[in-house]
Structure formats: C-alpha cells, structure tokens
C-alpha cells in the first residue's frame, strides 16, 4: 500500500483529512506552515527575543524603546523572508537598517548576534510545537534551517557592505579635504599639505596639482609642508617627482616649511637641492613667487 492513514494533530494546516503520504510534503508547504506558526506567536516570540538580546548585552548603544521598534521590523522582515525567499529584498532591508544603526555605534558582531538569537528563539519554538512528532520536526527543520541560515548570512553581508561603503565614503572625503589646490594670484597656486602623507596620498596630490597647473595656467606653485611632521624616503621621492613633473608643464615649484627632520631625509636620499627651490616659511615662499611673477606688494602709504 502506498498510503497509510495517520491522524496528525496538524492535519488542519493543509486542509486534507489527515492522510499522510510516505513521501514528505513539499518544502514550500512546510515553510508556509511554520511561517503561519511564527506569525501567530509573533508577540510572544518577539518579546522572548528582546529579553535574550538584553541578557546577552547586545545593542547596548540603543535604548529599550529603540530596540523594541527595530526588533519588530526585523522580526517581520525575517518571517517574510522565510515565506517569500526574496533575499534581495532582505539584503536591501539589511543595508537600510545598517545605515540607521551604524552611526549609533552598533558593531558587526551585535548584528550577527541578534539575528542568530532570533534564529534560535524561533527554532526552539518549532521544537516545542512539533516535539511529539519527531519525523515531522525533522522535516520542518529541513525546511527552516537552510532558509534561516541564508537569512543570517544575508543580513550580515548587507551590514558589512554598508559599513564598507561608509568607510570608502569617509576615506574619499578625507582625501578631498586634505589636498586642496588654491589659486592666490594669477598664475600662482598654493598647495598646503597637512598630516600624514602615504604613497597613495602623495600620488593623488601630484595628479591634482598637475591638473591644477594646467587648468589655472600656473607658472609658480608653492608647496607648503609645515603641517607634515615626517616623510619617509618613498614620499620624499614623490615630492621630488612632483617638482620635476611640474616643471615639464612649465611651472616652477617652491617648497616651504621643511622641518629639520624632513630636510635630513632629503639630504639622506641625495636629493639635488640645487634642483629644488626651497624657502623657510610660507610667507617667504609667496614673496619669492610674487617676485618670480613680476609682482611687487606695497602698502597704500607707500604709493602716495
């Protein structure tokens, strides 16, 4: 006989008379069944989850009300993802959620932690419901576990992607901020450098300067490195190359504000200081640049 009659407590779930085939129900039917259960018990399960979150001391950066609000939407999205298997929508939700909570100081381990806690809370609930029918429990878990794991993965990946996006954005902003090319007179550019220069920043600096020389038709450039504490040999070489490349575009470079340490580095690498135009401070550098360009600055009193 291909069929056998079994009265199952859950026969109402699929609307047939409790006849169970030897072959299991389709996974999608099982999913629908467990999703229905998770929705019915939403309030209780969500509460249980929130309790576990505070027990494990996660999301300490957020208030109870905030956690509750976010937990509600996460719970609903979780169950919906189980039901619809629309993981792209879930990833978009995860990135959106991350955008909100990353500025609050929430870390990756916290996000992964709470999703795994939710997975556990829901799994326990399924154990409780189907504990008397071990075979059915196994089939339910067969449907639940891959989907739940995929959800945890998707949310974690979404969170990390958002963090990486923020980091890239901040790095770009820092770079833009730190290398402005300023025109202070016709044909005269100033490049004030502040902070740490690594080879990548040095390269970006050179490219920006060369473009600036062409755009502004600059004949003199003052590069001020008062704000740079130290420079390694690689970066010092970049500076020399910047001076040489600027000359190829017809611009003279004056370097100002060399600290004693940097002067030492330049001497050590054997820079031909005859080729490099240096002046003590920015003021002196601008005055020399003006002389080169044929400007003379006088006070109004002198012109009367």
Partner 1 sequence: MEVPILKQGEVLIATFQAALSDADLEHLRRGLVQQVVKFRSRGVIVDVTAMDVMDSFASRTLREIAHMIRLRGAETVIVGIQPEVAFAMVQLGLTLEGVATALDLEEGLAYLIEKFKDVN
In whole angstroms, what is the distance from residue 223 CA to residue 243 CA?
A: 9
Q: Which residue's CB is nearer to partner 1, number 58 or number 213?
A: 213
Instruction: Please choose, from the candidates 61, 62, 88, 65, the residue with its C-alpha nearest in 3D space to the C-alpha of residue 77.
Output: 88
Count, residues near partner 1 per rule CB under 8 A: 17
In whole angstroms, what is the distance from residue 1 CA to residue 15 CA?
A: 23
Q: Which residue's CB is nearer to partner 1, number 38 or number 218?
A: 218
Residue 256 makes contact with partner 1 by CB under 8 A: no
Determine which residue in the list 250, 263, 267, 269 makes contact with partner 1, applying CB under 8 A: 250
Q: Which residue's CB is nearer to partner 1, number 37 or number 219?
A: 219
- Part in contact with partner 1 (CB under 8 A); list of ranges 4-12, 49-57, 150-158, 245-253: 245-253
Minimum distance, C-beta of residue 222 to partner 1, in the bound complex (Å):
17
Residue 245 makes contact with partner 1 by CB under 8 A: yes
Q: Which residue's CB is nearer to partner 1, number 72 or number 216?
A: 216
Residue 244 makes contact with partner 1 by CB under 8 A: yes
| DSSP designation for 106 | -
Minimum distance, C-beta of residue 244 to partner 1, in the bound complex (Å):
4
Residue 115 makes contact with partner 1 by CB under 8 A: no
Residue 247 makes contact with partner 1 by CB under 8 A: yes
Residue 28 makes contact with partner 1 by CB under 8 A: no
Minimum distance, C-beta of residue 285 to partner 1, in the bound complex (Å):
21
Q: Which residue's CB is nearer to partner 1, number 56 or number 234?
A: 234
- Part in contact with partner 1 (CB under 8 A); list of ranges 16-24, 91-99, 238-246, 257-265: 238-246
Q: Which residue's CB is nearer to partner 1, number 94 or number 213?
A: 213
Residue 291 makes contact with partner 1 by CB under 8 A: no
Q: Which residue's CB is nearer to partner 1, number 77 or number 206?
A: 206
Parallel/antiparallel/unpaired status of strands 277-279 and 252-256: parallel
Residues 195-224 contacting partner 1, CB under 8 A:
206-207, 210-211, 213-214, 217, 219
In whole angstroms, what is the distance from residue 9 CA to residue 7 CA?
A: 7
Minimum distance, C-beta of residue 245 to partner 1, in the bound complex (Å):
4
Q: Which residue's CB is nearer to partner 1, number 9 or number 247?
A: 247
Residue 249 makes contact with partner 1 by CB under 8 A: yes
State the residue for tokens 């820092």: 174
Q: Where does this chain bind partner 1 (CB under 8 A)?
A: 206-207, 210-211, 213-214, 217, 219, 241, 244-251
């Amino acid at each position: 006989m291909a069929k056998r009659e079994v009265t199952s407590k859950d026969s109402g779930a699929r609307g047939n008379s409790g006849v169970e085939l030897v072959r299991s129900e389709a996974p999608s039917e099982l999913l629908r069944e467990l999703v229905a259960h998770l929705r019915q018990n939403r309030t209780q399960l969500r509460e249980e989850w929130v309790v576990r979150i505070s027990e494990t001391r996660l999301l300490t950066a957020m208030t109870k009300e905030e956690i509750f609000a976010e937990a509600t939407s996460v719970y609903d999205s979780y169950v919906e993802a189980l039901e619809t298997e629309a993981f792209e929508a879930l990833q978009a939700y995860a990135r959106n959620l991350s955008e909100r909570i990353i500025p609050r100081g929430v870390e990756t381990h916290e996000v992964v932690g709470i999703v795994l806690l939710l997975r556990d809370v829901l799994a326990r609930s399924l154990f409780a419901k189907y504990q008397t029918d071990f075979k059915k429990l196994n089939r339910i878990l067969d449907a639940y576990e891959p989907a739940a794991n995929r959800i945890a993965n998707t949310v974690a990946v979404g969170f990390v992607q958002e963090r990486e996006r923020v980091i890239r954005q901040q790095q770009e902003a820092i770079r833009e901020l730190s290398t402005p090319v300023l025109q202070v007179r016709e044909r005269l550019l100033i490049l004030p450098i502040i902070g740490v220069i690594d080879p990548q920043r040095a390269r970006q600096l050179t490219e920006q300067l060369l473009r600036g020389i062409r755009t502004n038709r600059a004949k003199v450039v003052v590069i001020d490195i008062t704000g740079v504490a130290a420079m390694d040999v690689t970066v010092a070489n970049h500076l020399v190359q910047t001076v040489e490349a600027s000359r190829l575009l017809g611009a003279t470079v004056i370097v100002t504000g060399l600290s004693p340490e940097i002067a030492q580095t330049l001497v050590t690498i054997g820079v031909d200081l005859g080729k490099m135009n240096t002046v003590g401070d920015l003021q002196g550098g601008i005055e020399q640049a003006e002389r080169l360009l044929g400007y003379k600055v006088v006070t109004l009193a002198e012109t009367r």
